[in-house]
Structure 1
Amino acid sequence: MTPEHFILFATLGLTMLLGAVLQRTGFCTMGAIADIFLISRLDRIRQWALAIGISIISVSIFSGLGIIDSTKSIYANAKVMYLSVLLGSILFGCGMVLASGCGAKTLIRIGGGNLKSLVVFIVMSLVAYMTLRGFLGVIRVDFLDSVFFTLSGPQDLPSVLSSTFEVSRPVMHLSLGLLIGGGLILFALLSKSFWTFNNLLAGLTVGFSISLMWLISGYLGYIQEDPNTLQEAFLLTNSGKMESLSFVGPYAYAIDWLMFYSDASRVLTIGIVAVLGLTLGSALYAIQARTFRWESFSSVEDTANHLVGASFMGFGGIAALGCTFGQGLSGISTLAISSFLAIIGFFVGAYLALHYLQARLALKPCS
């Protein structure tokens, strides 16, 4: 088995397991935010905090041991495109509420038989593709990406603070990882109501999945000198840099791979395989648990909300450099500045959309 095949099979197996767990536990960023604003319940946001805490500590340890170099991830660019990230994440946050879930949740719902999410997947994929390479991409590059500030080095907090306080970066990274990651884990675990099997399973599985994907991409897929370019490279990533899990850009690349399959230049990547794996894992669990059922749109307004939400997520996820899984989990695990900005945007966007739906519900006559 070649290294490329091993990487793809490892990604497929890991994401199938993740898909099954997400289907079982109901892990959902949009649902977690809705629980806070609508019913003041924190269990699902604690799942998210536990996952982030585990991934932050794991990445800091991997980096400290020299197993991976998180400054070579897709989130560590010295250019901080704050306008793209903030606007994109707000749009994505709005979109995931209107479309009943983020990119990962959409795949989980498809696996459970939800036809609405299948439509969301198609629309989101096409809009994401247009935002990467089409006319929406021109708008993004010319108007949003042109607003930025540039740091002297990578934009992650360990790099920024190590130079400020004259501390070695590995020490700063490990210290910040333990402090921030440990704090998030404590926030999750100190609540007695959180200690259920599903809550712990969700947080632990998501956190370790993000961490293991960094190892697959940044360690197993790392080539110090590509024989073709004589430069370092990361195998089977669409960006050419180290990647973990994200579900917006890979939507676009999956559609591209399916449409141009006969073109030998189109190859499977870890992002495309992750899309397949998450859906398959969800479907297998739903069938086994006998929770698989077909579901479609309930009304014209329901259809419109999902179409608009999918479009917002397709454009916003690319502009923000990732979704709630990409920036909100994978990106934040590297302590990148843009990821902190994106999380703020996701919450703001979701809050606005939730209030919009509440207002629409209040206007409907009682039956």
Structure 2
Amino acid sequence: MTTANLNNESSSKVEDLVKRLGKPQPLLIGLGIILAIIVDILAFHYGGTQLGVQLWLGVALGLALFHSRFGFTSAFRRFLAVGNGEGIRAQMVMLAVASTLFAIILGTGFSFFGGTPSASVSPIGVSLVVGAFLFGIGMQMGEGCASGTLYHIGGGKSENYLTIVGFVAGSALGAYHWNFWVNDLPSFKPFSFATSTGLGYFGGWVIQMIIFAAVFFITLVVEKKRQAPKMAPIPTSKGWARILRGSWPVMIGAIVLAVLNAITLAVRNSPWGVTSAFALWGSKIANGIGFHPESWVYWQGEKGAVLHQSIFADSTSILNFGVIIGAFIAATLGGLFFFTKLPVKLMLSALIGGILMGYGARLAFGCNIGAYFSGIASFSLHGWVWLIFAMAGSFTALYIRPLFGMKVPSSDDRFC
């Protein structure tokens, strides 16, 4: 095939993808902006500028997630099923950029609003292993991880409205059982490549860069050996309009997410997290129907104060609302927000998957964001352990998905 033919074919593909975009949905775009303003006013009311800024960080995260379709669930599934490592490599780039920025922020103690930024470093034990494994199964059944569920809700993906119901319920149940899994079962102390080794943040950064490079290289070898199909293209636009209406290259999404997580660390003095808010929402609901979550070990001490406050005073809740709104605005700009009718099997899978993710995230000290992304960026060994067992859970789920009518990528596919 000549260069001219290749260019024509590439141009034709772009034109097809542009046609798949809908017209902007102005009423819904306006609704998204109004919702953002309302939530931001509430955030300012309860937490001042520091909390108000976090709403817009969440909006930016939602825009980046939707436009790049940045996936953790799909990336794991593609690599495990057919060897496509594009998504895993994007995650390594994201983690490399985030680790570099986190090292600077944590090493210097830089903060936009005062205080001392803290790393996300957690213990390694039975609860982490079991929780990450359950989360890996759940993310494949629920058609999305924690961040994926949020941005899919904003984008109108119907099954994820059931996923988040299960997520909230599972998170509350995990908080109820938290003492048994975390305190009664064996575990090792938190371990940081930076502070536990005595190497400092530069030494920890060097160790992690070697690991990132190794994983990046391994995915290339596996992909070539298995002759994996490519990632499916997504609807886009042309020129500058692509920033707001089209798809972003996944590597651009990776870098943007890394920078936004670093800014989040410097704004609220802790990295991006998602699922602690689900535990809060579920516990508040449990309290409303007659349970007493304030007696659970999970909510003892300073953490318990949030049970008696508005959810609009909770930092993680504000970030979550921002992600949903940001993805909603991104979807409506592309004319892509719509609901679909769901088969019963998919509805059941989404609900079960959400419960498993919610429960697993409490046991594992977080999800694909709080434990994996922010954990590894914080130089915590628990983030790498989470990845291993979440991948194991995802592999197990490849045999469960067909039972609920969900596809698993095949080597015969052109795209995955």
Fold shared, TM-score > 0.5 on shorter chain: yes
1:294 aligns with 2:339: yes
Cα contact 2:106–2:117 (8 A) shared by 1: no
Cα contact 2:171–2:282 (8 A) shared by 1: no
If the length of structure 2 is used for normalisation, what is the TM-score?
A: 0.68
Cα contact 2:346–2:405 (8 A) shared by 1: no
Cα displacement (A) at 1:186: 8.5
Which stretch shifts more, 286-295 or 121-130?
Answer: 121-130
Which of 26, 30, 40 is matched with 2:73 structurally?
A: 30
Partner of 1:284: 329
Cα displacement (A) at 1:143: 4.4
What amino acid is aligned across from residue 360 of structure 2 in structure 1? Answer: G
Return the index of the structure with the highest Cα Rg: 2
Unaligned runs of 5+ in 1: 219-242, 363-367
Cα displacement (A) at 1:170: 4.2
Partner of 1:129: 172
Cα displacement (A) at 1:26: 1.1
1:173 aligns with 2:211: no
Where 1:291 maps in the other structure, the secondary structure is: coil
Do the aligned partners of residues 39 and 170 (structure 1) sit closer, same or farther apart at CA in structure 2, a change above 3 Å counting?
closer
Partner of 1:161: 197
Which of 90, 93, 99 is matched with 1:50 structurally?
A: 93
> Counterparts in 2 of 1:241-256, with a 5 A limit?
243-254=270-281
If the length of structure 1 is used for normalisation, what is the TM-score?
A: 0.77
Cα displacement (A) at 1:307: 1.5
1:73-102 CA-to-partner distances (Å, cap 9, x unmatched) read: 3x335xx24110010000000001001011
Count of residue pairs brought into register by the alignment: 319
| In structure 2, distance between residues paired with 1:199 and 1:122 | 29
| In structure 2, distance between residues paired with 1:185 and 1:360 | 32
Partner of 2:105: 62
| In structure 2, distance between residues paired with 1:333 and 1:14 | 18
Which of 182, 192, 199 is matched with 2:250 structurally?
A: 199
1:130-164 CA-to-partner distances (Å, cap 9, x unmatched) read: 321x3xx2xx422454223444xx521222221xx
Cα displacement (A) at 1:311: 0.9
> Counterparts in 2 of 1:349-364, with a 5 A limit?
349-358=393-402
Do the aligned partners of residues 144 and 265 (structure 1) sit closer, same or farther apart at CA in structure 2, a change above 3 Å counting?
closer
1:315 aligns with 2:359: yes
Residue identity (%): 17
Which stretch shifts more, 99-108 or 197-206?
Answer: 197-206
Cα contact 1:85–1:320 (8 A) shared by 2: yes
1:334 aligns with 2:378: yes
1:15-67 CA-to-partner distances (Å, cap 9, x unmatched) read: 11111121122111010011112232222222211111111111112223232
Do the aligned partners of residues 174 and 63 (structure 1) sit closer, same or farther apart at CA in structure 2, a change above 3 Å counting?
farther
> Counterparts in 2 of 1:10-21, with a 5 A limit?
10-21=53-64
Considering only aligned residues, what root-mean-square deviation do their CA atoms show, in Å?
A: 3.3
| In structure 2, distance between residues paired with 1:208 and 1:333 | 11
Do the aligned partners of residues 250 and 264 (structure 1) sit closer, same or farther apart at CA in structure 2, a change above 3 Å counting?
closer
1:142 aligns with 2:185: no
Cα displacement (A) at 1:295: 2.2
Which of 153, 156, 163 is matched with 1:120 structurally?
A: 163
Do the aligned partners of residues 3 and 106 (structure 1) sit closer, same or farther apart at CA in structure 2, a change above 3 Å counting?
closer
What amino acid is aligned across from residue 264 of structure 2 in structure 1? Answer: M
1:214 aligns with 2:265: yes
Which of 328, 343, 346 is matched with 2:387 structurally?
A: 343
Cα contact 2:345–2:404 (8 A) shared by 1: no
Where 1:292 maps in the other structure, the secondary structure is: coil
Cα displacement (A) at 1:115: 2.9
Where 2:340 maps in the other structure, the secondary structure is: coil
Cα displacement (A) at 1:361: 5.8
Cα displacement (A) at 1:265: 3.1
Partner of 1:100: 143
What amino acid is aligned across from residue 96 of structure 1 in structure 2? Answer: M
| In structure 2, distance between residues paired with 1:253 and 1:90 | 22
| In structure 1, distance between residues paired with 2:271 and 2:165 | 23
| In structure 1, distance between residues paired with 2:258 and 2:218 | 15
| In structure 1, distance between residues paired with 2:284 and 2:59 | 20
What amino acid is aligned across from residue 173 of structure 1 in structure 2? Answer: G
Do the aligned partners of residues 317 and 296 (structure 1) sit closer, same or farther apart at CA in structure 2, a change above 3 Å counting?
farther
| In structure 2, distance between residues paired with 1:59 and 1:345 | 24
| In structure 2, distance between residues paired with 1:129 and 1:45 | 30
Unaligned runs of 5+ in 2: 1-43, 224-229, 232-246, 289-306, 407-416
Where 1:355 maps in the other structure, the secondary structure is: coil
